[in-house]
Amino acid sequence: MPLVRIDLLKGKDSAYRTAIGDVVYDAMRATLDVPENDRFQIIAERDAPDFIVDRTYLGITRSDDCVVIQVTLNEGRDAPKKRAFYKAVADGLHERLKLRREDVFISLVEVKKENWSFGNGEAQYAPT
């Protein structure tokens, strides 16, 4: 159950935001073995003072179109799967929205399965 948080500067329309969510979900399904209908996303627009992204960190030039994507997911995926995910998202956003690959910032946060509750106050994935 990945939980995806997507942040970007204010000013994009709802179709643009929806497209970002679709690309991320499709990439998770294709590269990270995420099951169908396992889609939990929070997409938020931020005012400039609340969206601080270094413009040149690691020699990558970022613009005002930078999108920050944080995915919390179960631990255990190897580095090749993660790399495939990063590439699928950057390529998908470039193809669908003409977003520069340099403007796609992704962070994966891995957690143990028992750190999830899908509802009812239960830890559905926790060993008993």
Q: What is the mean pLDDT of residues 50-77?
A: 97
Closest among 41, 57, 47 to 102, alpha carbons compared: 57
35-39, 43-47, 82-86 — which is least confidently predicted?
A: 35-39
Catalytic residue positions? 2
Percent of the chain whose pLDDT exceeds 70: 100
pLDDT, one tens digit per residue, over 71-109 is 999 999 999 999 999 999 999 999 999 999 999 999 999
3-12, 33-42, 115-124 — which is least confidently predicted?
A: 115-124
C-alpha separations of 52 from 47, 57, 58, 115, 123 in Å:
10, 12, 16, 29, 35
Contacts of 127 (CB under 8 A, 6+ apart): 114
Complete domains list, the chain, with CATH? 3-115 (3.30.429.10)
126 pLDDT above the threshold of 90: no
Grade residue 23 by pLDDT with cuts at 50, 70 and 90.
very high
Percent of the chain whose pLDDT exceeds 90: 89
Q: What is the mean pLDDT of residues 25-54?
A: 96
Grade residue 113 by pLDDT with cuts at 50, 70 and 90.
confident
